[in-house]
Amino acid sequence: MNPKNSIYIISKGRWDSRLTVKALEEINVPFQIVVEPSEYNNYAKVIDPKKIIKTPENFSERNKGGVPVRNFVWNLSKEKNEKYHWILDDNIRCFRRYNNDIKYKVMDGTIFKCAEDFVDRYENVMLSGFQYSSFMAYNRQKRPFTHNTRIYSCILIKNSLNIKWEGKYNEDSDLALRTLKMGYCTILFNAFLQDKVSTMIMKGGNTDTIYNTKDERLEFAKSLEKKHPDCVKTIRRYNRWHHSINFNAFKKNKLKLKKGIQLKNEINDYGMYLK
C-alpha cells in the first residue's frame, strides 16, 4: 500500500545526498520535492523534474529557516483541496516498523497508510508523525504511540488546522505546542519509525545557515522558552544548549473518535509480513 495523502520533501543544498528521496524511491512511495529556484538545475540533474516543485523565490534568503517553505507547502496542499499533507525533512535514511523490540526496515509505504487511517478515525488529531528510530532503545518496551507531544521531521498535518508555521527556530516544537494549547491532540507513532540523520551532522538544510554558530545555538534554544515560558526551559546538555518541554499540561487533551467509528478488537497488519 501507499499513502493516500501527498508527500512533500523540503530540501536545501542536498541534491548530492538526497537521503529521503532515495529512501522513498527504494520503497516505491510517490513524493514531490520542493526546492529553491537557485538550486533547481542541480536537483533536476539527479531527480525526475516531474517530481520537483520549484518555489517562487529563494526562501532561504529571508533568513527564517524552513518556515517560509513549510507555509508554501501547506498553502499549496490546501489549493489542491487536500485534507492532509505529509511534510518530510530531506535527511531520512529509511523507515522502520517497531515490533517485538526489533526495528524492521520496511520495503513499501504501508506504514504511511496505516498512520493515515489511524489518525483519520479522530476528529481532533491535527498533527501526527513517526518517532525517531534512535529514540527507541532496544530491550525497552514502548507503547505503539504517544499522544500530545512534539512531532519532528516526518509530519502529517491536517490542513484545516487554523494556524501556520512561525518563527525562525524550533518551528516543529512551536507548531505542536500551539496546536495542543488550542485543545487539539497530536500522535507520535512509536510503531513506525524514521531513521533520520542527527541535527547539524549533514551539510545543507539549516546546518549551513541558521545553526552555524554557538550564538545561534543558544538563541535557538532560548527562542522557544521566550514564546512558551509556561512549559519550556533552556538547559545545557551534551555540551550544547537545548530546550526542555514539559507536556504534562496537555494530558487533559483527549482523543475524540468521529461519529460512527466502531473500533474492532482485532489486529490488522495491512498485509505486512516479515520477509
What does the pLDDT read at residue 209?
A: 55
Which three cell numbers mark 158? 491536517
Rg (CA), the chain: 18
H-assigned helices in 133-229? 171-181, 214-227
CB neighbours of residue 263 within 10 Å: 7
Neighbouring CB atoms inside 10 A of 251's CB total: 9
For the entire predicted model, the pTM comes to 0.92
Strand pairing class (145-147; 185-196): antiparallel
Phi-psi region of 45 (alpha: psi -120 to 50; beta: other; left: phi over 0): alpha
| Helix residue ranges, H only, the chain | 19-26, 40-44, 67-79, 110-119, 171-181, 214-227
Specify the pLDDT at position 208: 56
CA-to-CA dists, residue 59 to 23, 67, 104, 143, 174, angstroms: 25, 9, 37, 38, 20
In order along its 275 residues, the chain shows pLDDT tens digits of: 999 999 999 999 999 999 999 999 999 999 999 999 999 999 999 999 999 999 999 999 999 999 999 999 999 999 999 999 999 999 999 999 998 888 999 999 999 999 999 999 999 999 999 999 999 876 666 799 999 999 999 999 999 999 999 999 999 999 999 999 999 999 999 999 999 997 655 666 555 555 555 567 788 778 999 999 999 998 887 778 878 999 999 999 999 999 999 988 998 999 999 88
Q: Name the region of 170 (left: φ>0; alpha: ψ -120 to 50; beta: rest).
A: left
Q: What is the architecture of the domain spanning 7-250?
A: Alpha-Beta Complex (3.90)
